A and B are shown apart, each in its own frame.
Chain A
Amino acid sequence: MLTIHQLVKRRGSRTILSGISFQARSGRVTGFLGPNGAGKSSTLRILLGLDSATSGEALINGVPYARLRTPLATVGALLDGSGAHRARTGRAHLNWIARSAGLPRSRVDEVLATVGLTDAASQRVGSYSLGMGRRLGLAAALLGDPEVLILDEPVNGLDPEGIRWIRTLVRERAATGRTVLLSSHLMGELAETVDDVIVINQGRIVADGTLAEVIDGHGTLENAFFALTTPNGGRVAQ
């Protein structure tokens, strides 16, 4: 379970997050939505110990990321791009990550097969397409078979088969009691995948509940999103 409690992030004179709190429960897929610049990435980065918060807490099973004894077995994260250096091969990238956690080499082959990159594994990451890079990042996230998955726009760059595959993977993991936090801009796709929804806008949480609760009365998730985050409900100016 992920717990964000009164998280504040200020950079210089800008306030990026003004005291947000929410939870992502185990056994459920939680969607994390917001316009660009709303603070989604900052929240995820603080959760993963990459950035420091001005105040507040971001806990994974009650513990801040920096204190996890076996981070890769607890959390698998997919952030921007592939997270890999362009001159290494895909396999070499996964190899060093596996070594850092003491995972066997066979695990690397397993995740490569899972994401469908076995053939491209010996090519340089620099030659990968956007979708292949995302799949490599996902393979890295799955290496430790983590209890928690944090995915930032995972379907970005994937073809329809990949999109469906992510949806299935994510639902399967939730079904086995794991936690999934998923951010995306594709409302239609998200509505098919998530159980709970959290909407963030300008550093504040504007909605937090089950999918049905958030949609309540708006019809679709997209309508609800625009109603919550824009002054004129998302109507395009004439």
Chain B
Amino acid sequence: MRAITAELSKLFSLLSVWVALAIGMIVPTAIAALNSVSTRKEIALGDHTAVGIDMGYQELAFGVIGAIIIGVVAISHEYFAESGESGGGRQITTSLIAIPSRLRFLFAKATAVAMVSAVLASAAAIATMAAIRIVLGDHAPEIGSEDVPRLAGIVCYWVLTALLAFGITVLTRHGIVPLAILIVNTSVVTVTYLLTRLTSLAYYFPDMAGIRMFIRNLEDSTVEIAPLVGGLVMTAWVAALLIIAAIVFCRRDA
């Protein structure tokens, strides 16, 4: 428990984490507001089908970049202190002396990352849905009981993506490669989506499966995956990656 508190305070001492929190909140809200303004114009022109079933949720899928940054930075800053001073000391040695059990260290860090991502996702979801309601007013889709599993799906998606980023960075140590790959894959047309044009197996990649938890209408989708199944597939990917990361981390030199 103390280890988790320590990891949380380490996270909040990083500027990048605060930037990630800001990005996670602002990006989906801003995009949703912009899209709502366009939608409102379309409704005014008489198009009543403009409000999609995934309104708000698609925008929240972009905001996951905040969770990615948190997952990457949480572990990469242990290894690389970039400053003008040549210092040389890496925080990882201090951290591992403080918590000799590497597994506990990694578990505490992963838990901290998951907790922060979950809170961020919840706050972002509230802000985004509120923005849509404010702009669209009466035309906004109703929030009912069917939305609860979808909102839970958003939170799961962000948490699992953060842990995915975390696991990859444990293996690579420097955050640039996982950060670049995951940001590119969060773009408007993701790489994994492109791969689905090639083979329907690509629908089972972690992000493609994971968005099923909250996206109901995936464009050109040839395979139907239930939300729960999508969530389980993504969880399986992340769990496998974290296990590999833990094994490698525990066995290699600091």
Interface residues, chain A, with chain B CB atoms under 8 Å away: 80-83, 130, 133
B88: chain A residues at CB < 8 Å are: 81, 130, 133
Q: Find the A residue at minimum CB distance from B80.
A: A86
B220 contacts A by Cβ under 8 Å: no
A130: chain B residues at CB < 8 Å are: 88
CA distance A152 to B222 in the complex (A): 67
3 tightest Cβ-Cβ pairs between the two chains A and B: A81-B86, A80-B86, A81-B88
A81: chain B residues at CB < 8 Å are: 85-88
CA distance A81 to B85 in the complex (A): 8
B91 to chain A, nearest CB (A): 16
B86: chain A residues at CB < 8 Å are: 80-83
- B: number of interface residues (CB 8 Å): 4
B85: chain A residues at CB < 8 Å are: 80-81
Q: Known contacts A80-B85, A80-B86; can you find 6 more A-B pairs with CB under 8 A? A: A81-B85, A81-B86, A81-B87, A81-B88, A82-B86, A133-B88
B241 to chain A, nearest CB (A): 26
Q: Find the B residue at minimum CB distance from A83.
A: B86
CA distance A81 to B83 in the complex (A): 13
Q: Find the B residue at minimum CB distance from A80.
A: B86
B87: chain A residues at CB < 8 Å are: 81
Per-position contact with A for B60-101: 1 when CB-CB < 8 Å, else 0?
A: 000000000000000000000000011110000000000000
A80: chain B residues at CB < 8 Å are: 85-86
CA distance A75 to B86 in the complex (A): 21
Q: Find the B residue at minimum CB distance from A126.
A: B88
CA distance A133 to B86 in the complex (A): 11
Q: Find the A residue at minimum CB distance from B88.
A: A81
Q: Find the A residue at minimum CB distance from B85.
A: A80
CA distance A66 to B87 in the complex (A): 26
10 contacts between A and B (CB under 8 A): A80-B85, A80-B86, A81-B85, A81-B86, A81-B87, A81-B88, A82-B86, A83-B86, A130-B88, A133-B88
CA distance A130 to B87 in the complex (A): 11
Q: Find the B residue at minimum CB distance from A50.
A: B84
CA distance A83 to B84 in the complex (A): 10
CA distance A82 to B86 in the complex (A): 8
Q: Find the B residue at minimum CB distance from A79.
A: B86
CA distance A133 to B85 in the complex (A): 14
A133: chain B residues at CB < 8 Å are: 88
Per-position contact with A for B113-145: 1 when CB-CB < 8 Å, else 0?
A: 000000000000000000000000000000000
CA distance A29 to B87 in the complex (A): 27
A83: chain B residues at CB < 8 Å are: 86
Q: Find the A residue at minimum CB distance from B86.
A: A81
CA distance A130 to B85 in the complex (A): 15
B236 to chain A, nearest CB (A): 36
CA distance A83 to B85 in the complex (A): 9
A196 to chain B, nearest CB (A): 29
CA distance A81 to B86 in the complex (A): 6
CA distance A81 to B87 in the complex (A): 7
CA distance A17 to B87 in the complex (A): 23
A27 to chain B, nearest CB (A): 32
CA distance A130 to B89 in the complex (A): 11
Q: Find the B residue at minimum CB distance from A128.
A: B88
CA distance A133 to B87 in the complex (A): 12
A76 to chain B, nearest CB (A): 18
Which of A80, A82, A133: most chain B CB closer than 10 A? A80
B52 to chain A, nearest CB (A): 48
CA distance A82 to B87 in the complex (A): 10
B177 to chain A, nearest CB (A): 14
Q: Find the B residue at minimum CB distance from A130.
A: B88
Per-position contact with A for B239-254: 1 when CB-CB < 8 Å, else 0?
A: 0000000000000000
CA distance A53 to B86 in the complex (A): 22
CA distance A80 to B87 in the complex (A): 8
Q: Find the B residue at minimum CB distance from A82.
A: B86
B252 to chain A, nearest CB (A): 15
A4 to chain B, nearest CB (A): 23
B172 to chain A, nearest CB (A): 14
